[in-house]
Amino acid sequence: MIARAQAESYVSQRIQQGAAASTVNREMTVLKHMLARAVSWEYLGTNRVAGLKPLREPSGRTRFLSLEEIERLLAACEDSISPCLRSFVVVALNTGMRRNEILELTRRSVDWVNRVATLADTKNGEARYVYLNDAALEALRRQLSGDVGCRCPRPAIAPRSQRPAHDDEIQPFVGSVSASGGERRSTWSRRAAWAVGYESWHLFGTRAPE
């Protein structure tokens, strides 16, 4: 059994050895978790270090890129082999969105009229809304157009296997009779199904929605 006094002595020793407060806190978190599991598995009766307070950690440094650094960053993006890196960085700089939040952006999640992106899957599990300024909106429009070779291609360049049959027909309700049971399927229905899938294409990357 590890007593509370032993845990406090360990913390003091680590501080004297020069370990950072954050490092000691992480170590104690592991120890607390191990003892908590031992209690839940009935190897121990109590977790005597559960109430041990963590050390106070210094606040992190908040730093913003200077205009010169932003220009250098965007210039480096232009030289990258990735065609959508610059657009990705522009969106990140102008919205503060996390990497995965940007990667999950789809045509449907962006309100192009009101200039708002809806982030449904965030770090804290709650949806939030991000305003898009001119630079961010233009970067997303470039992705939408397909000019930079990333995700969200226009229907005209989509794979034939993913497009509705008789795509060249413009009449909305031109039906076709299947050979099996005479079921009527309208070109309009096939077009609607493709349009729904198209709305779910991600704006950055190369994969289509599953």
Residue 31 CA to residue 10 CA, distance in Å, equals: 11
Give mean pLDDT, residues 7-11.
94
pLDDT tens for each residue of 69-128: 999 999 999 998 888 899 999 999 999 998 989 988 988 899 999 999 999 877 777 888
pLDDT tens for each residue of 112-147: 999 999 998 777 778 889 999 999 999 999 887 765
Name the amino acid, one letter, at 67: L
Model confidence at 194: pLDDT above 50? no
- Judge whether 193 and 166 are in contact, CB under 8 Å: no
pLDDT tens for each residue of 47-58: 999 889 999 988
Q: From the CA atom positions of the chain, what is the Rg in Å? A: 27
Structure tokens at 191: 């077009």
Phi and psi for 70 in degrees, rounded to 5? Answer: -65, -45
DSSP-derived 3-state class of residue 118: strand
Domains and CATH numbers, the chain: 1-63 (no CATH), 67-145 (1.10.443.10), 155-199 (no CATH)
Percentages (nearest 5) of helix, strand, coil residues in the chain: 45, 10, 50
Phi and psi for 144 in degrees, rounded to 5? Answer: -65, -35
Supply the pTM of this predicted model. 0.54
User: pLDDT tier at 36 (50, 70, 90 boundaries)?
Assistant: very high
- Strands 116-119 vs 128-131: parallel, antiparallel or unpaired: antiparallel
Q: Apex CA 203: angle with CA 172 and CA 144, to 5°?
A: 55
Residue closest to 120 by CA, chosen among 133, 132, 112, 129:
129
Residue 55 CA to residue 28 CA, distance in Å, equals: 10
